[in-house]
């Protein structure tokens, strides 16, 4: 029976449209932006209707205390393309084998991923709209700035509109065609118990792809999340991994601690720093020792270096002088230490 096979193949190939058109769009309209500014969310990047869109949105966000939108620090944009490729290949396998069980498995997994994607998008919007900086220039008690998940809403004098773009429509059509393919195959019963192991295995593979491990720092290419300077010295560098797997990168320990002390709402999964004597090697921050001395300048001028062992820190201390701290004492005394030279 060719019809279900063709429907399954078209449903799978439709997913590749996500690589060439955005999945979602958010538009902001206001008197100062009569034509509106639109941000496009793809499966692997965030763009705008001009090259300055994100910059303009981040400037607006600064005034109301919202965090900067930094696509490189959003882990979903890194692994979503692999999920789409996997589902495309899996869908073509379904069409080739013409297996009813695999056809239902593919459809269920796609539906689950769609629901998880919408939920993740909502959490992302909620985080940006509710976790506001207490030092924002504009503060309105009780005001939040979460864009609508779907539809239009007024945020101060901005009209925010959030709707699927062509990629979202293609994803929806793929689900419809997948359902039609399954329906046309005339399955006698709709029980899914026979395919639940397949669903569980593939779904587990997708979940395991959402890693919360630290990422290698691209020195000379990536910017510090706190001071915005380019991270260039391989003997320094630090990372914060949130409980959602988002990785924030810093050019030194001092920027990491400054961020932690200025962002009380940050949900931290793990903290990592670069060991001074082992360039580019990230070590858990809590296990390191920290040396402040006047002979080894750090990127932000605090003369603060991290070492992965007590022995390494004391060895440098004997040669260069200074004071050694553990992670807790460094944080507790950090404000007083920032003027140390």
pLDDT, one tens digit per residue, over 297-336 is: 898 888 999 999 999 999 999 988 999 999 999 988 887 7
Q: What's the pTM? A: 0.54
Are the CB atoms for 232 and 251 separated by under 8 Å?
yes
The strands making up 24-30's β-sheet, listed across from edge to edge, are 46-48, 33-41, 24-30, 158-164, 151-155
Residue 72 three-state SS: helix
Residue linked to tokens 């002979």: 295
pLDDT, one tens digit per residue, over 19-46 is: 999 989 988 887 777 778 888 999 999 8
DSSP one-letter code for 230: B
pLDDT string in tens for the chain (341-residue length): 457 888 888 999 999 999 999 989 988 887 777 778 888 999 999 898 888 888 878 887 777 777 788 888 788 888 899 999 999 999 899 888 878 888 888 989 999 998 998 888 888 788 777 777 777 777 777 677 788 888 888 877 778 889 999 988 999 999 998 888 888 875 433 443 444 455 544 544 554 445 678 888 888 888 898 898 999 999 999 999 888 888 899 999 999 999 988 876 568 889 999 999 998 899 999 999 999 988 888 988 889 999 999 999 999 999 889 999 999 999 888 877 765 44
Q: What distance lies between CA 130 and its chain's CA centroid?
A: 17
Are the CB atoms for 45 and 71 separated by under 8 Å?
yes
**Rounded Cα gap, residues 40 and 19, in angstroms:** 13
- Please report how the helices 76-97 and 196-208 are oriented relative to each other, as an axis angle in degrees rounded to 10: 150
**Rounded Cα gap, residues 67 and 202, in angstroms:** 34
Q: What distance lies between CA 317 and its chain's CA centroid?
A: 38
Reported as type and span, the H/E element at residue 317 is: helix 310-320
Q: What are 100's two structure tokens?
A: 């009813």
Q: What are 327's two structure tokens?
A: 């992670």
């Amino acid at each position: 029976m060719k019809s279900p096979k063709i429907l399954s193949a078209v449903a799978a190939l439709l997913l590749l449209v996500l690589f060439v058109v955005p999945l979602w769009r958010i538009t902001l309209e206001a008197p100062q932006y009569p034509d509106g500014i639109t941000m496009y969310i793809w499966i692997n990047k965030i763009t705008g209707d001009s090259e300055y869109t994100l910059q303009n949105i981040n400037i607006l966000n600064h005034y109301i205390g919202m965090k900067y939108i930094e696509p490189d620090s959003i882990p979903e944009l890194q692994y979503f393309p692999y999920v789409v490729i996997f589902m495309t290949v899996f869908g073509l396998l379904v069409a080739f084998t013409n297996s009813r069980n695999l056809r239902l498995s593919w459809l269920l997994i796609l539906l689950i991923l769609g629901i998880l994607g919408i939920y993740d998008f909502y959490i992302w919007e909620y985080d940006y709209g509710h976790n506001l900086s207490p030092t924002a220039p504009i503060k309105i008690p009780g005001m939040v700035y979460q864009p609508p998940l779907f539809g239009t809403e007024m945020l101060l004098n901005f009209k925010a509109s959030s709707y699927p773009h062509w990629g979202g429509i293609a994803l929806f059509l793929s689900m419809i065609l997948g359902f039609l393919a399954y329906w046309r195959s005339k399955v006698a019963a709709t029980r899914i118990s026979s395919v639940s192991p397949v669903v569980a295995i593939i779904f587990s593979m997708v979940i395991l792809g959402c890693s919360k491990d630290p990422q290698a720092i691209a020195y000379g290419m990536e910017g510090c999340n706190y001071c915005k300077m380019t991270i260039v010295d391989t003997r320094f560098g630090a990372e914060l991994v949130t409980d959602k797997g988002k990785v924030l990168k810093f050019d030194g320990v001092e920027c990491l601690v400054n961020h932690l002390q200025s962002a009380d709402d940050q949900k931290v999964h793990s903290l990592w720093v670069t060991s001074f004597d082992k360039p580019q090697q990230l070590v858990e921050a809590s296990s390191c020792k920290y040396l402040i001395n006047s002979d080894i300048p750090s990127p932000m001028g605090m003369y603060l270096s991290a070492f992965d062992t007590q022995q390494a820190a004391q060895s440098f201390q004997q040669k260069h002088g200074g004071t050694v701290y553990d992670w807790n004492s460094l944080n507790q005394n950090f404000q007083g230490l920032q003027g140390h030279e």
